[in-house]
A = this chain, B = another copy of it.
Amino acid sequence: MKIALAQINPIIGNFEYNFNKITEFANKAKSLGADIVAFPELAVSGYPPKDFLEKQAFINENLNTLTRLVESIKGIGVVCGYADINRIKGEKPLFNAAALFENGKIIHKAYKRLLPSYDVFDETRYFEEGKTSEAFLYKGEKIGLTICEDFWNDKSVISDRYYKNDPVADIADNGAKIIINISASPFEAKKNNFRASLISSTARNNGIDFIYVNQAGANDSLIFDGLSAVCDSRGNFCVMATEFKEELITYDTTPSQIYNPLTLNFAHENESILNALITGVRDYIIKSGFSKAVIGLSGGIDSALTAAIAVEALGARNVTGIFMPSLYTSKENYKDTRSLAENLNIKLEVIHIDKIYKKFLNGLFFVSNSDKPEITEQNIQARIRGTILMAYSNKTGALVLTTGNKSELAIGYCTLYGDMAGALAVIADVPKTTVYELSYIINKDYPKIPLNIIRKAPSAELAPLQKDEDELPPYKILDAVLKGFIEEDKDINSLVKQGFDKRLIEDIIKRISKNEYKRHQAPLGLKVTSKAFGYGRRYPIACDTEFNF
C-alpha cells in the first residue's frame, strides 16, 4: 500500500481555502499512485480553532466541508481531521475526529482519546475523549488511526506527563501493522529531536509502521514545523518531510520496497528557530489579509534582527524601517541604521521625535524638563515612537512588528503602548542571548546586520548614557535564571543550587511577577520555546507580588 503524507498549511475558518487545499493535495497524491493520503489534525477547519468550536455555524460548515470532500474526491482513500458531534448528554459536545473516506463513503472514524490540557492546549474545553481505538482492514492491511497527543504516551521516552490510556498500544494489540497519526504539533526549539525519538520508540515498541502527518505553517503564536515522517516497525525513519513548509511525501508498505534508514540530520536549533520566526511573520501577515510590515529601527540588535526576519518573510520591498532619533540617540545609531537598511535593501524613513517630545514636556505640568529623564519621560519618548509607527501603519496598511525580546518582556524592561505597540511581537519568545546567536546566522553569508550593531553595548537610549547593563543583570545570567524559572519551573532553591545569587533570583522573579500587567496587553508573540508568555502561561495580575513562586 502506498501512503501519501499531505503536510498542508490550512487557514482557520476558511473552509473554502481548506477544501481546495485538501482536494489539490489528494489529486497530487493520486497522480503519484498513492492508495491513501493523510491530512493533519482538524485539517478541515485549521488548528487551533479555539472558541470557534463553540459556534454551531462553524461546526456545521466544518461538517459540510467534510461531506463535500467525501463526495468529490474519488479514487483514493483520504484520512482527514475534523470536528465531529457528540450527542451524548452530560458530555462535551464534540470529538476531535479523524475520518477515512473513499469513493463517497466514510469507512472508519476515530476520536482523539488523549486530550492535551496544558500550556497552549485547551482541548478538554471543547472535546470529549474518544473511548476506544480499533484496528480495521483497509486494502488488505490492518491499520488504525490516532490523533496527535494519542501517541505522546510512551513511558520509555516521556517521564513526567503521560496518560493512563494508550491508544497506539490498543490498536497494535488489535492487530494493526500500520498506524496513521494526524497531528497539529507546534514547534519549539529541540522538540524535533524529542518527537523523533518518540515516533521511533512508538513504532518499535508496538511493532508497527508509524505514519506521522503534521500541519505546516503558523497560526497566531503557534508555528507548526511539519517534519511529517514514516518510521518502520524497527524504529527506523524511512521518509521525512521538510520543516515548516507544505509538502507531499509518500511511503510504500510493500516489503519489496526497501528504505535505507534515514540519518536524522535536523537543522541546528537556532536555524530552526529562525525559520520558525520567518514562517510565523509571513503567515500572521498573510492570513490577516495584509502583505507589508513596518518596524521601528533603533540601531540596536533587536530591531535589526526583527527587520532581517521580516525581509526573509515578506521580501525587502514589503518592509519599511522607521528610524526615530531623539537627542539621546548616538551618532553610531544613525550610521548603523542606514547600513542595516542598505544591507537589507529596505525603505528607511527618518522621523525626529524631539519636537514632539518637547511639546509633551512643555504641555504636561507634572513632567520634568531636566536632562535626566525619569521613567515617565522615558516612556513618553517610547510612546511617541509607538504612535508614529501606528500612524504609518494606519496610513499604509503595513503591520507594525514589535522588536522586544523575551528577556526584557520578562522583567518589564519595555514600554506599554511604546516599543510594545504593534501587531506581532516577533522575538518575544527569544532571549537576548539567543538574539545574538540568531543574528550570527542571519549574517552567515555576509554581514546583513552591521557588525557594530552586534558588538556595541545594548541601550534603550531614552536617557543620556543609558546602558542596559547598568539597569539589568548581565544577560547571560538573566537568561539562565529566566530559563530555569519560566521554562523549567524551577523554584528559588534549585536556582540557588545552580549557583545564582539568591537576592538576584528573588529580584528577577519579583520583576517577572510585577510585570504581568504589561504582558497581558502585549501583542501576540511567536512561540519558539517550551514556555512562551501569552496564551500558554496564565497568571493572575492583581495579586500579591511580594511572594516568589
Taking beta carbons and an 8 Å cutoff, which residues of A are in contact with B? Answer: 11-15, 17, 46, 48-52, 54-58, 61, 89-91, 117-118, 122, 124-125, 162-164, 219-220, 283-285, 287-289, 349, 351-353, 355-356, 359-360, 362-367, 374-377, 379-380, 383-384, 386-388, 390-392, 394-396, 416-417, 421, 423, 489, 491-492, 517, 520-524, 535, 537-549
Contact = CB atoms under 8 A, between A and B. Distances in A.
Contacts of A17: 544
A363 B367 contact: no
B366 A395 contact: yes
Contacts of A57: 491-492, 548-549
Contacts of A61: 547, 549
B391 A380 contact: yes
A359 B355 contact: yes
Given A287-B542, A376-B394, A417 B55 contact: no
Contact of A55 (B11, B89, B363, B491): B491
A46 B549 CA distance: 15
Contacts of A394: 374-376, 379
B90 A162 contact: yes
Given A54-B489, A57-B491, A367-B395, A14 B544 contact: yes
A356 B360 contact: yes
A377 to B, nearest CB: 8
B521 A48 contact: no
B391 A379 contact: yes
Contact of A366 (B50, B396, B521, B524): B396
A417 B390 contact: yes
Kindly name the residue among A57, A380, A423 whose own CB sees the greatest number of chain B CB atoms within 10 A.
A57
Given A351-B364, A379-B390, A383-B390, 9 more contacts: A13-B543, A14-B544, A14-B547, A48-B540, A54-B489, A90-B163, A219-B543, A351-B365, A417-B421
A165 B52 CA distance: 28
A90 B220 CA distance: 31
Contacts of A289: 544-545
12 contacts: A12-B540, A13-B547, A15-B547, A50-B540, A57-B491, A122-B122, A284-B542, A353-B363, A355-B362, A356-B363, A359-B359, A524-B541
B46 A543 contact: yes
Nearest to A50: B538
A55 B549 contact: yes
A167 to B, nearest CB: 14
Given A56-B491, A544-B287, A51 B538 contact: yes
A112 to B, nearest CB: 15
A475 to B, nearest CB: 24
B379 A288 contact: no
Given A356-B356, A417-B417, A489-B55, A50 B387 contact: no
Nearest to A55: B549
A520 B538 CA distance: 14
B521 A58 contact: no
A540 to B, nearest CB: 5
A364 B548 CA distance: 45
B287 A543 contact: yes
A539 B51 CA distance: 6
Contacts of A164: 90-91
A362 to B, nearest CB: 8
Contacts of A386: 383, 417
A170 to B, nearest CB: 15
Contacts of A366: 391-392, 395-396
Nearest to A523: B521
A380 B356 CA distance: 12
